[in-house]
Amino acid sequence: MKALSPTEYAEEVWGGSVTDKTIRNWINKGIPLKGVDRVETTPTGRYVLFMKEEVKSNIDALFEQMKRKVA
């Protein structure tokens, strides 16, 4: 299990194509996040996203899909 901040999650999973503010908005609206098992709030009001370590980023998935189409 890996703990990430919204900023780290946006960079690792979405390759920076969305911002940490977008991730926080999705959390507030109850939108499920790819690969996230649970979201906790710290006593200071910050979010911590817990996810399995083997989840690939969207960039990696798109790259693999493109490789399959070329071959």
Contacts of 12 (CB under 8 A, 6+ apart): 4, 57
Q: What is the pLDDT of residues 34-43, one digit of tens each?
A: 889 999 999 9
Q: Where are the domains of the chain?
A: 2-70
Percentage with pLDDT > 90 across the chain: 58
| pLDDT of 3 higher than 90 | yes
Angle between helices 58-70 and 6-14 in degrees, nearest 10: 0
